[in-house]
Amino acid sequence: MAVAGGLKCVKFLLFFFNFIFWLCGLALIVVGVLVQVVMHKTPVISNAAGSTAPLAVIGVGVVIFFVAFFGCCGAWKENYCMVTTFAILVSVIIIVEIAAAIAGYIFRGKLNGILNTGLKDMISKYKNGTAEIRKGMDDLQQCLKCCGANSTADWTSFNLDKNSVPDSCCKNITKNCGLKNMHNKTKVYQLGCRVALEEALKKNLLWVTVAALVIAFLQIMGVVFACLLMRGIRSGYEVM
């Protein structure tokens, strides 16, 4: 009876961890959709890798959502095949996540180039481009308190005097406040938006890391409990 009681506990723990895992998958889907919407409204990064990132998050969220649902059903019904399939699928997901983390670490240096290329492209299209591009660049500069891609000098071709920047670069925005004030530190932000974006991303990196560790912990615990329940079911013990 002690073994049966222990397996009953394992069963409910597996169900509980899968339910939390299921919520994590749902959260990833929601976050991915929100990021995709924001990126469409603010075209800061035109590179394909940048636009694909939220879609990848949504894809991972969908996979986790269904795998966790599968695990919940397997645990509740004490179905050996479903629990085994769940354990295998989660193990594969963990391997893929490790590979993705390694790839992300190796190619992390490309982020600098993507941001730089995207920002310079928006600057070149600012005057003759769409209203969406202008609004996107203006909102970015006002929000992050920055100007240009790397510095205010990126706006050299903005005006014939080669010494003017958009009004969105000004610390206190008024009409024509950026006129002939490119290097005026008291009126215009001198920090480039690439650096400002990198700093903003670094601030959020801690939360991303914490979320990844929580999900990884849930996945590992899910596999452990699944293996314990599989052994119990196969041995013929009564769990209920």
**Chain segment 200-226, per-residue pLDDT in tens:** 777 766 666 677 777 778 788 888 888
Q: What is the DSSP letter of 44?
A: -
**Chain segment 150-193, per-residue pLDDT in tens:** 999 999 999 999 999 999 999 999 999 999 999 999 999 999 99
**Chain segment 101-138, per-residue pLDDT in tens:** 776 667 666 667 777 888 888 898 898 888 888 888 99
Instruction: Please compute Rg for the chain using Cα positions.
Output: 25
More confident residue, 228 or 107: 228
Which range among 23-32, 144-153, 173-182 shows the weakest confidence by mean pLDDT?
23-32
Q: Does residue 50 surpass a pLDDT of 60?
A: no
Q: Does residue 1 surpass a pLDDT of 50?
A: no
Q: CA–CA separation, 240 vs 4, rounded Å?
A: 8
When pLDDT is averaged across residues 20-28 and rounded to a whole number, the result is 80
Instruction: Please report the pLDDT score of residue 198 as a whole number.
Output: 80
Instruction: Please report the pLDDT score of residue 205 as a whole number.
Output: 63
| Diameter over CA atoms, the chain | 87
Number of neighbouring beta carbons within 10 Å of residue 225: 24
The CA-CA-CA angle for residues 169, 171, 173, to 5°, reads 75
Which range among 54-63, 72-81, 141-150 shows the weakest confidence by mean pLDDT?
54-63
Q: Which two tokens stand for residue 86?
A: 């769940």
Look up tokens 């924001």; give the residue. Answer: 38
Instruction: Please report the pLDDT score of residue 240 as a whole number.
Output: 45
Number of neighbouring beta carbons within 10 Å of residue 157: 11
The answer to whether 213 touches 138, Cβ cutoff 8 Å, is no
**Chain segment 68-100, per-residue pLDDT in tens:** 887 888 777 777 888 888 888 888 888 877 776
Q: How buried is 236 (Cβ within 10 angstroms: 0-12 exposed, 13-18 middle, 19+ buried)?
A: exposed
CA dihedral 199→132→130→184, nearest 10 degrees, is -40
The answer to whether 119 touches 127, Cβ cutoff 8 Å, is no
Instruction: Please report the pLDDT score of residue 54 as a whole number.
Output: 63
Instruction: Please report the pLDDT score of residue 49 as a whole number.
Output: 46
Instruction: Please report the pLDDT score of residue 238 as a whole number.
Output: 46
Q: Does residue 48 surpass a pLDDT of 60?
A: no
Beta-bridge mates of residue 170: 188
Beta-bridge mates of residue 188: 170
The answer to whether 44 touches 119, Cβ cutoff 8 Å, is yes
Q: What is the DSSP letter of 191?
A: S
The answer to whether 181 touches 187, Cβ cutoff 8 Å, is yes
Number of H helices, E strands in the chain: 6, 0
The answer to whether 132 touches 107, Cβ cutoff 8 Å, is no
More confident residue, 27 or 171: 171
The Cβ-side half-sphere exposure at 103, using a 13 Å CA radius, reads 6
Instruction: Please report the pLDDT score of residue 121 as a whole number.
Output: 87
Instruction: Please report the pLDDT score of residue 190 as a whole number.
Output: 93
